[in-house]
Amino acid sequence: MRNFRFHLVGLAHLPASKLYNACAYTQKILKLSEMLMSLGHQVVYYGSEGSGVVCSEFVPTHTVEDIRNDYGDGNDKFAIGYDYKTEGFREDLNSKLEDQKPSTRKFYLNCSGGILARKRDDDFLLLMMGAYHQPISMMADLFLTCEPGIGYRGSFAKFRAFESHHLRSFMQGKESKDSCYNGDIYDRVIPNYFDPNDFTYSFKKENYVLYLGRMHGRKGVRIAYEAAKKAKVHLKIAGQGGKVEKDGSFSSIMDPELKFPKGDWEYLGYADIEKRRWLLSRARALLVPTQYMEPFAGVHIEAMISGTPPITSDFGVFPGTITDSIDGELGFRCNTLNDYVNAIEHSKDVYPPHIRSHSQRYFMENVKYDYQKWFEDLYDLYLKSKGGA
């Protein structure tokens, strides 16, 4: 097994820290670097002050004060200056280059300069946010530039690893337009990866179902409410962006159309690592009735790690992860409201050890070898490009 050196690019709008566990990008950065280090690789990480990435060298690109100055509203309770637990994270991911924040421009400049000062021709450059990191890629100009965890639509790199077969096919279809698309043998599907120590497996369950995620209508919160109500099961709701009104009804800060009345549900707000651990381990089932094509929806794997069956929609990533939607051994894929209600009813009959066993496929300790194989293949291609064997 060969060892390589990686330049890992972080985030402009957040430090990479477990404190911001609701940010999927942040958590993927933390775990990817840890996996690479465990394989004996060198990792140089470029990102905000306050990051907790396990790496060979940390190159600070900007400060938490920079982030606070651009996004904060004077709330001293939070290091980044605003209540991300209630409203969600602030960023400029979709802004034009000329409209981006000073902290983003500082991040680009210092990241690019740091890489140029350290790079060797056979180093890997790992971009975790696709097109948002393209300015850094253009400056670094490394052959082995990769997007190692594509769960988004703004992809550009030559070497790409997608989180699901669904997303790879979607992107290939989008890029092919009306022509017949040839596959790329250096594209890979490598699933999202999880630290089982962040979760607690439990055989014993309580009589509630859980919705855990952002409070957007497309994420299926309303469907979760309707299904739990019809199934006559208590619903716990956790995540950014919700609000309980004075009359006991629910509304969303993120989605003005998302409302439902007082009922047999409770909103628990932001779920940090420990609250997330407890909620997932004790739930009878996790409801993930998302209405858009999920690239991965990591929370449903987190439920499996906890021994809890996920109840999901029937498109996007889920046909690849819940392969037995009829008998419910791993979880349930649904279309109609009645499907969700029936799944809730049958969730009490699932066997948690079987779900937990299946989830091991997504443990960091296993997924890291998928990455090793990919990087070995790419390095061989690099050598060939230089006239090697």
- The total of other beta-carbon atoms located within 10 Å of residue 251's CB is 17
Question: Which residues in the chain are classed under CATH 3.40.50.2000?
Answer: 5-193+363-385, 198-361
- Retrieve residue 303's tokens: 């439920």
Cα 101 to Cα 62: distance, rounded to the nearest angstrom: 12
pLDDT band, residue 153 (cuts 50/70/90): confident
Residue 251, φ and ψ in degrees, nearest 5: -145, 165
pLDDT of residue 389: 60
pLDDT of residue 257: 93
Mean pLDDT confidence for 150-177: 91
pLDDT tops 60 at residue 326: no
pLDDT of residue 98: 84
Cα 195 to Cα 18: distance, rounded to the nearest angstrom: 12
Mean pLDDT confidence for 189-218: 97
Q: Is the separation of the CB atoms in 125 and 144 below 8 Å?
A: yes
Mean pLDDT confidence for 229-239: 98
- Higher-confidence position of 351 and 182: 351
Q: What percent of the chain has pLDDT over 90?
A: 90
Residue 62, φ and ψ in degrees, nearest 5: -165, 175
pLDDT of residue 388: 67
Mean pLDDT confidence for 321-343: 87
Residue 312, φ and ψ in degrees, nearest 5: -125, 175
Least confident of 24-38, 84-98, 143-157, 219-233: 84-98
Mean pLDDT confidence for 237-254: 96
Mean pLDDT confidence for 99-110: 96
pLDDT band, residue 376 (cuts 50/70/90): very high
- Architecture of the domain spanning 198-361: 3-Layer(aba) Sandwich (3.40)
CATH node for 5-193+363-385: 3.40.50.2000
At 70-102, the pLDDT tens digits run: 999 989 999 999 999 998 999 999 888 888 999
pLDDT of residue 329: 84
pLDDT band, residue 175 (cuts 50/70/90): confident
pLDDT of residue 325: 53
pLDDT tops 70 at residue 145: yes
At 260-307, the pLDDT tens digits run: 999 999 999 999 999 999 999 999 999 999 999 999 999 999 999 999
Q: Between the CA of residue 134 and those of 47, 52, 252, what are the distances in Å?
A: 15, 24, 33
Q: What is the average pLDDT value for the chain, to the nearest integer?
A: 95
At 8-58, the pLDDT tens digits run: 999 999 999 999 999 999 999 999 999 999 999 999 999 999 999 999 999
HEC per residue, the chain: CCCCEEEEECCCCCCCCHHHCCCHHHHHHHHHHHHHHHCCCEEEEEEECCCCCCCCEEEEEECHHHHHHHHCCCCCCCCCCCCHHHHCCCCCCCCCHHHCCHHHHHHHHHHHHHHHHHCCCCCEEEECCHHHHHHHHHHHCCCEEEEEEECCCCCCCCEEEECCHHHHHHHHHHHHCCCCCCCCCCCEECCCCECHHHCCCCCCCCCEEEEECCCCHHHCHHHHHHHHHHHCCEEEEECCCEEECCCCCEEECCCCCCEECCCCEEECCCCCHHHHHHHHHHCCEEEECCCCCCCCCHHHHHHHHCCCCEEEECCCCHHHHCCCCCCCCCCEEECCHHHHHHHHHHHHHCCHHHHHHHHHHHEHHHHHHHHHHHHHHHHHHHHHHCCCC
pLDDT tops 60 at residue 114: yes
pLDDT of residue 174: 84
pLDDT of residue 176: 81
